[in-house]
Structures are given as structure tokens and as C-alpha cells.
Structure 1
């Protein structure tokens, strides 16, 4: 079936409504596929995360890479990685919030259910193999170079702060397994200028290790909070230094990470195209060629010269 014919067929199909919205997570099934929840109107505080003094991040991250363990949902079955995140964006006049559940498979197919506010509304989307504009996310963790390259494409930058932002953005689509989290910890360890901050709390009340990068002569801060047992990203914050202290510009909570055999809605098999849709690819002039090696061989002197 051609792409045009397939689109016409899908247009004629009535997509069922999203699952019923729930107001709290099921604590007895932490790896179950979640539903988005109505955005609480009280969670608009933009004050930056409070952190203890920092120290060089490299030894902390290398130690984390050596000892990090499995996450309780690593082994859940299903071809789709499922991630729920909650995102705050602070604008001049209001705060925009997004509670999102995403399904993503390694053929670049998936789906999304989201509640956006203010004026809460449910948004839904899905895409066939090759239809997602972010391509090959699962391959990001095959080598250090690939992870850096993919992370930079998510953030459109090539300095340590952009790497922090890009790694967090990847986590909104795909939950890396234990070995992949070890790789990410080694990549961050090989990045100059990062600081580690013990016992940092996120907005969900979880405590982890803060890994921070500063830019704009110390006036911008990019912070990851990592689970000290599994290395999973708990939260990310981009903040700016003001006369009243650090103020968040964007705050991300990464919540449920699991797997599922199906999306919330699957098109009938006979209406699926036999040829994958080709979504647009991001291009980034600052990305270096990517190799196929699986070891961390990044050159901190040449590749991060912009950070000096």
C-alpha cells in the first residue's frame, strides 16, 4: 500500500479515546503502563533546586558506573519502551505543564498521550515504523560517541551543558538498561567541568546525586539528578541565576519507565503500510563522525575544547 493510500485509510478509522485518566499512580503495580493525570494547578513554583556544595563529578560518576544495579522495571516484557514524564516550562506570563506517556519501539514507531495546561486538554498521537522524526534512539547507547552525538542533536549544542540537556531529553523517549546506564555514566565522567552534589531531592520526593554543568559564565545551570542505586535519571532542571537566586526555566521529572507489547491504540494490521514512513532527520553541523566501537574513547582535550 502506498503512503498516500495508507494515510487515507487511517483517516477513515475512528481512533478510540485514551484510557480513563487517573489521579495517582498505582503503588502496587509500579511497572504497569501509566495514564497521564490532570495537571495540578499548585505546582507552579519556579525556584531552582537547592544543592549542597559540589565536588568534581568524574570520580563520583566512575564509582556509580562500577556499582549501579538493575532497575525494578528493566526486565518488563514488550517491544515498546514506555516512559511517563512531567514537564514544567516557565514563561514570562504563565507556566506550561505537560504530563506525557510515550511508547517507543526500535523501528521508530510509537505513540503519545499527553495532558497539556493551562486549559487542560488531552492530546494523542501515534506513528508507524520510520514515522518519528527522532531516529534510532535505541542505537544512541551502542557507543560513547553515538550517545554524545544523539544527545547533542536533542539539545543543539556541543558543550557539557548541552550534553546534560540532551541526555535528559533522550530519557523522555527511551529508558536505557543497566549496561546502557553504565555507558552514560562513563560518558558524563569523561566530560570536563561537571560537579557532583550529594543528596539532591526532586519534586517527586526522591533523593539522588546531582550532576551539574554551568554555562554563560556561571549564570546558567543544567542539572541531572541520578538515582544513586540504578543510575536512572530522576529529574533535570535548566535554571538561570537571578538577583533572587536560581530560577528554573524548565523542569523535567522522569517517572514510570517500563515496557509494553502494544501502544494504547494499534491500527488494524491490514491498514499498515508495508513501507515505513520517512520522517525528517535532524541535522547538526557540530556533530563529529560516529564510529561503531563500544568502548569509551572520547578525547576530553579536543572534543570539549569549547568548555575550556
Structure 2
């Protein structure tokens, strides 16, 4: 299965712009309001988003963030954990020190209480001690059916660690570097999942961000080989988080592509038509979370593929 109807989401309690991630996340911006107000706006966006998903029949498991710990980015659990259909859980090394506090064992207990089966935990977090990072499904886009993993290398996506992950989980690595224009230069994009979304029968991707022609050709060739329709987005659309989408299953196994309202509004009519040939579209406003957090709808959802008892 490439998509699931169950997602884990962490409701923020201390959300704000994280100064430790802003050094290489060029999507983040500061806004001139108090952190308390930023957090309450983020909570309102989060709650509305969960409601929209549940109305479509998506099974959303909401866990409240721990208010005793300073975790401004806890709303993005897809960077520290991944769930797999053989009962394996992956735990990942995070670039920002204050993000490492987001990893919580009780999340696994909550899932087990809900009847999910965990057989094995693959823990890569010791790589943090050596200064190597791989931020789960933020850094790695999984084609679970064709057993391919796409990764745009960056400070948060180490090549050797990615290859180790692919060997452990038996995925074929597809490696490239994706860039964005920052202050007149080209800087690596911090996470693969802001420039690329892989659905069952299509991919939404910012090919303009892959500067190396050979790498671009290789990515396109893999997608075509696996029968994916390629829907390209521009770099400007990527900055509206049009690459940060995720396909999920709703009621009656209906397929939906989930994105933010900013992402949806950036799409041209022909891009919307191309997506709607494959599935419905669901969007919700995530303005505060996107502006201060530099992440969007995809980052907020950790897909649960674990088997059930």
C-alpha cells in the first residue's frame, strides 16, 4: 500500500518560529506578534485541519504535545518517526537540538493501545552524536509499492545514512540535490517533501529545483518507469507549499490529496484538473504554521502503516 487512512498528528502547545531550524529552512519567516498569540493561532489551524480530515473519513490520531518541554516544531512529527506495514517503526536523527526532545516513547504506547502492532524499532538517532541527520519522511519520499526511496541531499539528509536506511528497509535509493533561490544564490532545499509528493498513480514535483540535468533525468525516468503521471510545479508554487502534499484514504476508500489552502490557491486550473483525474483535493488554511514553522500539511502528518491486532 502506498497510502493509508490513518495518520498521527501532534497538537502544538509551544509553537513558535524555531530559531534553530531557521538557519537552513528558508521557508520560515518571523511574524511580529507574541509567541502566545502565534501558538493559539497554530492551535486553531491545527484543530480546523483535523476536523477537515475527519469529515472526509481519515482516521486522525491526535496526541497533545508535552507543555513541560520546549518543542516549537512538535507539530511536524513526520521528521522523527516512520511507520511500516511489517510492524517496524523508524526513529531518526534531527538537525536541530531542540527538535530531538520531540521523540516520545509514549507515542508508541498510544498506538499499541489503539491496537497497532509494533514488532521492531530501527533507531538511527545515534548518528546525531556524529553530526549526521536523516529527518524521516521529510528527507525521504517513499514509494512503498515499488520499494524506491527518493532523497534530496542536504544538511538534514546525509547520503550514507540514507543508503543505510535503504539497505535496512530494502528500498532502491534515488539520490539527487534540490535547490532554491535565496538571496541571489542557490541553496539546498532542507527537506525533499517540500519539493516532491508521491501519490499512488502520480507525482507532484518541482523539477526546476533539480539543477543537475543528469539527476533530473534520473528522477523523471524512475517516476515514468513506475507509471506515475508527473505533475510539475514551479519554484514559486513550491514556496507556497504546493510540493508539501500527501495522498490519504478517506471514507469508503476514497482517495484525497491533502494540502494547505496556500498550496491549493497557488495551483493553476490545469494542475488541479490533472490531480482531480486521480483523486479529490482537501485543503485547510495553515498560514501561521507555514510562515513560522516553514512546513505545511505533509509535515504535520505521520502516516501509520502498522498492522493491527
Query: Fold-level match, TM-score > 0.5?
Result: no
Normalising by structure 1, report the TM-score: 0.25
The structure whose Rg is larger is: 1
Whose helix proportion is higher, 1 or 2?
A: 2
